[in-house]
Amino acid sequence: MKSRSVVHLTQAFARLHTADMETTYHETLDVKEKDLALDGHSDEIPQHILDEIHQYRNMIYWSLLFLDGSVMWAYYSCLSAQDYYASAFPDVKFSFLTTPVLTWPLSIGHIIQMWFGYDRSLGNMKRVIIGYAIFAICCVLIILQGYLDMDQTAGATMVLICFGFVGAAHSLTEPAYYNVASLFPDAHFTNAIQVGNVTAGILNVILAALIHLAVGGVHDTDKDHSVKLAFFIFMAMLLVICAGAVYVYWRLEKVPCVRYLMDRAAADHLKHGQVSLPQLWAKFFRVGKVIVMPLVAQFMLFFCSLALFPGIGIASIHPSLFGTQSGPWIVSPGLIGAFNFGDLVGRLGSTKAAVNCFSMRFCFIFSILRWVWLPLLLMTSVNNSLYAFGDNHWGAYAFIVVLYLVLGVTGGLFSTITIGMAPLLVPQEDREAAAALMVLALFLGLSSGSTFGWGISNNHWFGL
C-alpha cells in the first residue's frame, strides 16, 4: 500500500510538473510573440504593441493628417494660383495644363519606385527628405522666375517643369505615408491621410484668397502687382511647411509602436531572402487579385471626379454670370468650394458604421454608376441638347453646385473606405504591397481623369 501511494504521489507530481512546464512554455511563447514577432511566426500584432497604438493614437493620427496635408499643400499650391498664371502668362492655357503636368509625373514616379523596388531600397525617411527638398527647390525656382526678365514661353516652361518635379516628388512622399498607415490593424490612420488630403485643399484655397485680399484689398487698384506679391507670399509658406513636415515625420518614426511595425515590415521582406523583381511582381499580382474590387473602385472614383471636376462645371456656367469683374470670385470658388466641402464631409463620414454599411462590391458598382453625373452636368450647358433650365441661369448654377457637392461626398466617402479597407483584406506581410497598389490606382485615376477632362475642354466635346 505504501509503495502504491508513493507511485500515485509520484504520478501526481509528474502531472503537476508537466502542467507547470506547459504553463511556462505558453508564458514564454507569449513573451516571444510580444518581443520577437519580427520573425513572422504570427500574423497577429502583440498586445503590448496594440496598447501603445492606443496610447499614441491621437499623436499618430494628427501627424499623418498633417504630413499628407503638407504634401497636398505643395500640390494645391500649384493649382490654386490660376489668377497669377493668367496674369503672368496670358497666352498660355495654364488652367488646362496644370493638373496633367502635376499628376502624370506623380503616377509614373510611383510606378517606377513600386515596380523596381526602389521604394524599399530608399526607405521612408530618405524618400521624405528627398521629396520635401525637391518641393522647396521648385518653390524657390517658381518665385525666382517672377523676378527674372523672361518671356512668356520661357517663364511658363520653367514653371511647368517645376510642376512636373513637384509631381515626381509627390510620388516619393505620399506613398510612404500610406505604407506606414497600412501597417496598423484598422483603417483609422489611413483615414487621417484622407482627411489631411482634402483639408489641405480647403485651407489652401481659403488662405490664397485671404492673402490676396490682405495684399490688394477689396478694391484692388494695382491688380497685377497684388496678384504677383500674393502669389510669392503664398508660395513662400511652402518652405516653412516642408521643414515642419520633415520634423513631424522624424518624430513619428520615433514612436515605439510605429518603429515596431516598420521593423516588422522590413523583416517580412527579408525573411524570404533577396527578392528578385519577378518575385516582387508576382507578389503584386497575387495581392492585386485579392483586392481587385477596391482597386478598380479607387481608380474609377478618381478618374470620374477629375474628368468631371471642375472643367465641365465651369464650362457649363452661362457667360452672363461672369458679367462683372467680381463675378469669377463668386462663381468659380462656389463650385470648387462645394466639391471640396463635400469631399471633406465624405471622408469624415468614413466611420466604422459606414464601413459596415458599404461592402467592397457596393463601392465597386457605385464607382461605375457615378458617371451618371456627366449627363446631369450637361443639362446645365446651354450648348448641349440636354440643357433643361431655359433662362434660369442661376438655377442651372445652383444645380451644378449641388451636383458637385454630392460628387465630392460620394468620392470622399467611397475612396476612403476602399483605400482604408483594402490592406486589411490581406495578411500583415502583404499590407504594404496592397497599399502601394491602392495608391497606384489613386494616382492613375487622378492623371487619367485630368487628362480626359482636358481632352473634353480642349476639343469642346459635348458642346463645352
Domain CATH number, residue 264: 1.20.1250.20
How many C-beta neighbours within 10 Å does residue 247 have?
9
Which residue range(s) make up the domain with 219? Answer: 52-273
Question: Do 186 and 280 sit in the same domain of this protein?
Answer: no
Question: Do 93 and 57 sit in the same domain of this protein?
Answer: yes
**214, part of any domain:** yes
Helix (H, G, I), strand (E, B), or coil: what is residue 398? helix
- Cell numbers that stand for 208 in this block: 490664397
Q: What is the pLDDT of residues 330-356, one digit of tens each?
A: 556 677 778 888 998 999 898 888 888
pLDDT at 346: 93
Q: Residue 457 gets which letter from DSSP?
A: H
Q: How high does pLDDT run on average in the chain?
A: 83
Q: What is the mean pLDDT of residues 290-306?
A: 96
pLDDT confidence of 27, banded at 50, 70, 90? very low
Higher pLDDT, 329 or 233: 233
Q: What is the pLDDT of residues 93-129, one digit of tens each?
A: 776 677 888 889 999 999 999 888 887 788 899 999 9
**425, part of any domain:** yes
Q: What is the mean pLDDT of residues 7-28?
A: 38
**43, part of any domain:** no
Q: What is the mean pLDDT of residues 399-404?
A: 93
Q: Give the sign of the dihedral formed by CA 339, CA 342, CA 343, CA 344.
A: positive
**Contact in structure between 308 and 464 (CB atoms under 8 Å):** no
pLDDT confidence of 280, banded at 50, 70, 90? confident
- Pick from 108, 251, 121: nearest CA to 169: 108
Question: Do 266 and 314 sit in the same domain of this protein?
Answer: no
**434, part of any domain:** yes
pLDDT at 323: 52
Least confidently predicted of 20-29, 153-162, 316-325, 382-391 = 20-29
How many C-beta neighbours within 10 Å does residue 7 have?
10
- Cell numbers that stand for 230 in this block: 500674393
CA distances from 256 to 51, 55, 273 (A): 11, 11, 26
Instruction: Say if residue 310 is preceded by a cis peptide, omega within 30 of 0.
Output: yes
- DSSP secondary structure, 175-224, as one string: HHHHHHHHTSSSSHHHHHHHHHHHHHHHHHHHHHHHHHHHHH-SS-SSHH
**26, part of any domain:** no
pLDDT at 214: 83
End-of-domain residue from the set 226, 251, 273: 273
- Pick from 63, 120, 173: nearest CA to 433: 120
Question: Do 265 and 281 sit in the same domain of this protein?
Answer: no
Degrees (nearest 5) of the Cα angle 47, 50, 53? 155
The terminus-to-terminus CA distance of the chain in angstroms comes to 105
Question: Do 114 and 164 sit in the same domain of this protein?
Answer: yes
Count how many domains the chain has.
Answer: 2
Q: What is the pLDDT of residues 150-202, one digit of tens each?
A: 888 888 899 999 999 999 999 999 999 999 999 999 889 999 998 998 888 88
- Pick from 106, 100, 108: nearest CA to 456: 100
pLDDT of 329 above 90: no
End-of-domain residue from the set 257, 273, 289: 273
Question: Do 310 and 458 sit in the same domain of this protein?
Answer: yes
CA distance 220 to 30: 70
- Listed in sequence order, the residues at least 6 apart from 237 whose beta carbon sits closer than 8 Å to its beta carbon are 207
Question: Do 113 and 131 sit in the same domain of this protein?
Answer: yes
**30, part of any domain:** no
Q: Give the sign of the dihedral formed by CA 324, CA 325, CA 328, CA 334.
A: negative
Question: Do 217 and 103 sit in the same domain of this protein?
Answer: yes
Question: Do 101 and 144 sit in the same domain of this protein?
Answer: yes
**400, part of any domain:** yes
Question: Do 319 and 182 sit in the same domain of this protein?
Answer: no
Q: Which residues of 332-370 are buried (b: 16+ CB within 10 A; e: fewer)?
A: bebbbbbbbbbbbebbbebeeeebeebebeebbebbeeb
- Residue 463 region by backbone torsions, left for phi larger than 0, else alpha for psi between -120 and 50, else beta: left
pLDDT of 404 above 80: yes
End-of-domain residue from the set 246, 273, 300: 273
CA distance 295 to 365: 12
**Contact in structure between 56 and 255 (CB atoms under 8 Å):** yes
pLDDT at 17: 39
Question: Do 174 and 321 sit in the same domain of this protein?
Answer: no
Q: What is the mean pLDDT of residues 40-67?
A: 87
Give the 3-state secondary structure of 408-427.
Answer: HHHHHHHHHHHHHHHHHHCC
pLDDT at 95: 64
Q: What is the mean pLDDT of residues 270-292?
A: 84
E strand residue ranges, 272-356? none
CATH number at residue 282: 1.20.1250
Q: What is the pLDDT of residues 122-142, one digit of tens each?
A: 889 999 999 999 999 999 998
Percentage of the chain modeled with pLDDT above 70: 84
Higher pLDDT, 42 or 145: 145
Q: What is the pTM of this model?
A: 0.78
- Pick from 451, 415, 409: nearest CA to 296: 415
Question: Do 140 and 285 sit in the same domain of this protein?
Answer: no
pLDDT of 437 above 60: yes
**Contact in structure between 79 and 310 (CB atoms under 8 Å):** no
**371, part of any domain:** yes
Q: What is the pLDDT of residues 449-463, one digit of tens each?
A: 989 988 887 788 887
pLDDT confidence of 383, banded at 50, 70, 90? confident
